[in-house]
Amino acid sequence: MMNIKNTVFAVLLSVTSVFSGLVQADSFPERPIELVVPFGAGGTTDVFARSFARVINKYLPNEQRVVVVNKPGGATTIGMSIVAAAKPDGYTLAFAPVGVIEVMPHYKGRTTWTLDDFEPVMSFLEIPVAINVLASSELQNYEQWLEFVQANPGKFTYSTSGGTGGGTHLAMEMFSEIAEVDLRHIPFEGQAAGQAALLGGQTMGVFSIPDTHKGGEVKPLLFLSEARPTSEVYTDVPHARDVGIPFSSDFPMGILAPKGVPQERLNIIHDAFKEALDDPAIIAFFETSGLPIIYRDSAALDRGIRQRSAENKRLLTQLGLIK
C-alpha cells in the first residue's frame, strides 16, 4: 500500500513540476525586457532597435514592452559585458551586429567573455558592404579599379569603420588575400570619419554601406556581401563572385541572449521578433532604410558566428595583431 502511495505521489509531483514549468514559460515576460545597444543613441543599430521596440509588445505575451538601453564605449565591450554578466532570465538581451563577439574576445584582456557566453536568438538584417570610391573618381568600375591596384601595389588606400583589427578590416584583408591584391588600410574609428577622409582626399576608398541611393558622393565598385541595398541603382554593381573571386563577407545584426536562458523563453523572444518582421511598421521602416530583411534562425546564426570567429582569429594571428 505504501509503495502505491509513493508511486502516486511521485506521479503527482512530476505532473506538478511540468505544469509549473509551463506556467513559468507562459507568464514570461512579466516585466519590460531590456534591449542593450552597445552604441550611442541615434546610430544605425540604435535606430533599428527602437523601430522594433515600438511594435514588439503586440507580439510578446502580456503585451510586455521592450526598452532600449544604450551602453556605448570600449569598442562595444561595455554593452556586451553587461549582457554577458546579466542574469540568464531573458530580461536582458543584446541588440547588435553579431561581429562584436566574433573579434574582440581574441584580444587577450579586452573582454571577460567569449562567444560561448552568448546565445544567438536570431538575425533579421545583414549589413551590405562594398568597396566604394568617390563618384568623381577616375576608377568608375571594378575593371578599372583592378587594373589600377594590380599596376600600383599598396597605393590604393581605404578606410573601414572599426579601426585596425575590426571586423570590416579583417574582411578586406581576407578579400585581398583571396583576390591577390595589395591594398593599404587607413584606420578610422567610425564610418563617418572614414567617409570624411574619402571626401577630403585622404583616402581613395572606403569599405562600407554604399549611399548612392541617397544621393551620396560615394559609389560602390564591388559588393563583398551577399546583401545589398534594395534600390535598383545597385543592380549592375557586381558581387565578388561575379568577377571570379570566391569570397563573401556577412555582417548580420540580431538578438543575443546571455548563455543559460531557458529554451522556452528563448523561443518566446525569437517568435515575437520574427512575427514583428511582418508588422507593417517594420516593413515600412526597412523600405525607408533601403535595406532588405534577411532572417536567420538561431542555429544558422550560431554557425556563421563560429565560422567567422575562427577565420578572424587566423587573420589576426597572421597580421601579428594577436599571438
When pLDDT is averaged across residues 28-53 and rounded to a whole number, the result is 94
In this predicted structure, what is the pLDDT of residue 192?
A: 75
In this predicted structure, what is the pLDDT of residue 26?
A: 55
**Chain mean pLDDT for the chain:** 90
Contacts of 3 (CB under 8 A, 6+ apart): none
In this predicted structure, what is the pLDDT of residue 189?
A: 67
Q: Do residues 115 and 305 lie in contact, with contact meaning Cβ atoms separated by under 8 Å?
A: yes
When pLDDT is averaged across residues 210-228 and rounded to a whole number, the result is 88
The domains found in the chain, sorted by start residue, are: 30-126+252-318 (3.40.190.150), 130-243 (3.40.190.10)
**How do 205-208 and 157-160 pair as beta strands?**
parallel
AA identity, residue 220:
P
Q: Which band of pLDDT confidence, cut at 50, 70 and 90, is reported for residue 109?
A: confident
72 versus 7: the higher-pLDDT residue is 72
CA angle 249, 250, 255 (to 5 degrees): 160
In this predicted structure, what is the pLDDT of residue 85?
A: 97
In this predicted structure, what is the pLDDT of residue 11?
A: 45
134-144 confidence digits (pLDDT tens): 999 999 999 99
Q: Which band of pLDDT confidence, cut at 50, 70 and 90, is reported for residue 118?
A: very high
**The pLDDT of residue 22 is above 60:** no
DSSP assignment of 53-93? HTTGGGTSGGG--EEEEE---GGGHHHHHHHHHS-SSSSEE
CA distances (Å), origin 147, targets 64, 177, 202, 237, 240 = 56, 17, 21, 17, 15
In this predicted structure, what is the pLDDT of residue 21?
A: 45
- The cell numbers describing 34, all together, are 531590456
When pLDDT is averaged across residues 39-57 and rounded to a whole number, the result is 93
**The pLDDT of residue 25 is above 60:** no
Contacts of 86 (CB under 8 A, 6+ apart): 92, 258
In this predicted structure, what is the pLDDT of residue 140?
A: 94
In this predicted structure, what is the pLDDT of residue 309?
A: 96
Q: Is 222 exposed, middle or buried (0-12, 13-18, 19+ CB in 10 A)?
A: buried
- The cell numbers describing 320, all together, are 601579428
Q: Do residues 229 and 237 lie in contact, with contact meaning Cβ atoms separated by under 8 Å?
A: no
How far does Cα 310 stand from its chain's mean position?
16
Q: Do residues 210 and 229 lie in contact, with contact meaning Cβ atoms separated by under 8 Å?
A: yes
Place of cell 545597385: 234
Name the pTM for this structure. 0.84
In this predicted structure, what is the pLDDT of residue 222?
A: 97
**The pLDDT of residue 20 is above 80:** no
Distance between CA 315 and CA 310 in Å, rounded?
A: 9
AA identity, residue 239:
H
